[in-house]
C-alpha cells in the first residue's frame, strides 16, 4: 500500500517544525538522507541532519515559521514557507522553497532547499 500524500506532508512538516523547536526527535530521516542547500551539501546523513536541527547555530536564529504550503508530486513533497529570524524586533523573514523525498515508510531520504535573503515581513 502506497504512503498517503498527507503522511508525506506530515513528514516534511515535522522537519519544518523542528527548525523552530530545535528538537528533531519527531523527524523521521533515513540513515543516508542528504540535504542540499543552494546547491551545497549541508547534510551528509540522517544523524548529521538531526544534530544540526537540534544544535546547529544556523537554525538557532529561527523562531517562527509562517505561510507553510505543501503539495506532493510523484512522492516528493514541495513546500514553501517563511522562516522568521532573530532579532524579532527587526521583523526579518526569508522565503524558503524546499523539497523532501519521502520513502514508503514515511522517512525523509533527501532534502533540497533554496531560500532568499531575509527581508522585513509584516
pLDDT tens digits, residue range 61-99? 999 999 999 999 999 999 999 999 999 999 999 999 999
Domain count, the chain: 1
- What gap in Å lies between CA 96 and CA 57, rounded to an integer? 18
List the domain range (segments joined by +) for residue 76. Answer: 5-120
pTM: 0.94
pLDDT recorded at residue 122: 64
Contacts of residue 111, Cβ cutoff 8 Å, sequence gap at least 6:
15, 33, 34, 35, 36, 43, 49, 98, 99, 100, 101
- What gap in Å lies between CA 22 and CA 40, rounded to an integer? 22
At 16 the three-state DSSP class reads helix
Write the pLDDT tens digit of every residue in 2-48. Answer: 899 999 999 999 999 999 999 999 999 999 999 999 999 999 999 99
CATH of the domain at 71: 3.10.450.50
The C-alpha cell 523573514 sits at: 93
Amino acid at each position: 500500500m502506497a504512503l498517503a500524500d498527507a503522511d508525506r506532508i506530515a513528514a516534511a512538516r515535522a522537519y519544518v517544525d523542528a527548525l523552530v523547536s530545535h528538537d528533531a526527535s519527531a523527524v523521521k530521516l533515513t540513515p543516508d538522507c542528504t540535504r542540499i542547500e543552494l546547491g551545497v551539501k549541508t547534510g551528509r546523513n540522517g544523524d548529521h541532519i538531526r544534530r544540526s536541527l537540534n544544535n546547529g547555530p544556523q537554525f538557532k536564529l529561527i523562531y517562527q515559521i509562517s505561510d507553510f504550503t505543501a503539495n506532493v508530486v510523484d512522492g516528493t513533497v514541495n513546500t514553501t514557507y517563511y522562516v522568521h529570524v532573530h532579532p524579532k524586533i527587526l521583523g526579518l523573514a526569508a522565503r524558503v522553497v524546499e523539497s523532501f523525498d519521502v520513502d514508503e515508510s514515511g522517512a525523509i531520504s533527501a532534502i533540497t532547499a533554496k531560500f532568499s535573503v531575509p527581508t522585513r515581513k509584516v
